[in-house]
Amino acid sequence: MPRHEFGIMPAPPGPGTRYDEYEPERYGCIPVEDDDLLPRLPRLDGLACFWHTPDRPGRGLAYCGVTLIPPESLAEFADALEGEPKLSALAALLDRARREGRYVIHFGI
Protein backbone atom coordinates (compact mmCIF):
# COMPACT_ATOMS: atom_id res chain seq x y z
CA MET A 1 0.00 0.00 0.00
CA PRO A 2 1.43 3.44 -0.88
CA ARG A 3 2.40 5.65 2.00
CA HIS A 4 3.70 9.10 2.82
CA GLU A 5 6.45 9.88 5.32
CA PHE A 6 6.48 12.94 7.62
CA GLY A 7 9.30 14.13 9.84
CA ILE A 8 10.53 17.18 11.73
CA MET A 9 13.51 19.01 10.29
CA PRO A 10 16.26 19.81 12.83
CA ALA A 11 16.92 23.21 11.23
CA PRO A 12 15.13 25.44 8.72
CA PRO A 13 15.98 24.66 5.10
CA GLY A 14 18.62 26.97 3.72
CA PRO A 15 18.23 28.94 0.48
CA GLY A 16 19.42 27.00 -2.54
CA THR A 17 19.27 23.67 -0.72
CA ARG A 18 17.41 20.93 -2.55
CA TYR A 19 15.67 18.03 -0.86
CA ASP A 20 15.41 15.48 -3.64
CA GLU A 21 16.66 12.38 -1.82
CA TYR A 22 14.31 10.01 -0.03
CA GLU A 23 15.72 10.11 3.52
CA PRO A 24 12.93 9.34 6.02
CA GLU A 25 15.35 7.92 8.60
CA ARG A 26 17.30 11.20 8.66
CA TYR A 27 14.22 13.07 9.91
CA GLY A 28 12.71 10.36 12.13
CA CYS A 29 9.72 10.12 9.81
CA ILE A 30 6.45 8.42 10.59
CA PRO A 31 4.51 6.60 7.87
CA VAL A 32 0.99 7.61 6.88
CA GLU A 33 -1.04 5.38 4.60
CA ASP A 34 -2.16 7.07 1.40
CA ASP A 35 -5.72 5.78 1.86
CA ASP A 36 -5.90 7.58 5.22
CA LEU A 37 -4.49 10.89 3.97
CA LEU A 38 -6.17 11.01 0.55
CA PRO A 39 -9.62 12.18 1.77
CA ARG A 40 -7.94 15.12 3.56
CA LEU A 41 -5.88 16.34 0.60
CA PRO A 42 -8.53 18.71 -0.85
CA ARG A 43 -8.44 20.66 2.44
CA LEU A 44 -4.68 21.04 2.00
CA ASP A 45 -4.76 22.43 -1.55
CA GLY A 46 -4.18 25.98 -0.28
CA LEU A 47 -1.53 25.07 2.29
CA ALA A 48 1.50 27.39 1.91
CA CYS A 49 4.64 25.28 1.62
CA PHE A 50 7.69 24.69 -0.56
CA TRP A 51 8.36 21.94 -3.09
CA HIS A 52 11.80 20.31 -2.94
CA THR A 53 13.55 23.59 -2.05
CA PRO A 54 12.78 26.71 -0.01
CA ASP A 55 13.23 28.62 -3.27
CA ARG A 56 10.08 27.11 -4.81
CA PRO A 57 6.92 28.16 -2.99
CA GLY A 58 3.88 26.02 -3.63
CA ARG A 59 0.40 25.19 -2.38
CA GLY A 60 -0.56 21.80 -1.01
CA LEU A 61 1.54 18.69 -0.67
CA ALA A 62 3.86 17.57 -3.46
CA TYR A 63 1.97 14.28 -3.71
CA CYS A 64 4.78 12.35 -5.39
CA GLY A 65 7.64 14.58 -4.29
CA VAL A 66 9.13 16.35 -1.29
CA THR A 67 7.26 19.08 0.56
CA LEU A 68 8.76 21.47 3.13
CA ILE A 69 6.01 22.72 5.42
CA PRO A 70 6.87 25.89 7.36
CA PRO A 71 5.86 26.38 11.01
CA GLU A 72 3.26 29.00 10.10
CA SER A 73 1.33 26.43 8.00
CA LEU A 74 1.23 23.66 10.60
CA ALA A 75 -1.94 24.79 12.40
CA GLU A 76 -3.86 24.79 9.11
CA PHE A 77 -2.50 21.33 8.30
CA ALA A 78 -3.49 20.02 11.75
CA ASP A 79 -7.00 21.46 11.36
CA ALA A 80 -7.44 19.43 8.16
CA LEU A 81 -6.71 16.24 10.12
CA GLU A 82 -9.11 16.91 12.97
CA GLY A 83 -11.45 14.07 13.85
CA GLU A 84 -9.51 11.32 12.07
CA PRO A 85 -8.10 8.83 14.60
CA LYS A 86 -5.92 7.11 11.99
CA LEU A 87 -3.99 10.38 11.59
CA SER A 88 -3.43 11.03 15.30
CA ALA A 89 0.31 10.27 15.12
CA LEU A 90 0.66 12.80 12.29
CA ALA A 91 -1.37 15.36 14.23
CA ALA A 92 0.95 14.85 17.24
CA LEU A 93 4.03 15.31 15.02
CA LEU A 94 2.59 18.54 13.59
CA ASP A 95 1.79 19.81 17.07
CA ARG A 96 5.32 19.11 18.30
CA ALA A 97 6.88 20.82 15.26
CA ARG A 98 4.61 23.83 15.73
CA ARG A 99 5.53 24.16 19.43
CA GLU A 100 9.23 23.93 18.54
CA GLY A 101 8.94 26.33 15.56
CA ARG A 102 10.31 23.74 13.12
CA TYR A 103 9.62 22.77 9.54
CA VAL A 104 8.03 19.43 8.67
CA ILE A 105 9.32 17.47 5.69
CA HIS A 106 6.96 15.28 3.67
CA PHE A 107 8.08 12.53 1.34
CA GLY A 108 5.23 11.71 -1.02
CA ILE A 109 4.36 8.35 -2.47
Confidence at residue 91, expressed as pLDDT on a 0 to 100 scale: 97
Domain that holds residue 82: 3-107
- What pTM, to 2 d.p., does this model score? 0.95
The CATH number covering residue 56 comes to 3.40.1760
CA distance 92 to 72: 16
Dump strand ranges (E) for the chain: 3-8, 30-33, 48-51, 57-59, 66-69, 104-107
Mean pLDDT over residues 73-82, rounded? 96
57-59 and 48-51 strand pairing:
antiparallel
CA distance 99 to 32: 21
Number of domains in the chain: 1
The residues that bridge with 59 in the sheet, in sequence order, are 48
* Tens of pLDDT, residues 25-65: 999 999 999 999 999 999 999 999 999 999 999 999 999 99
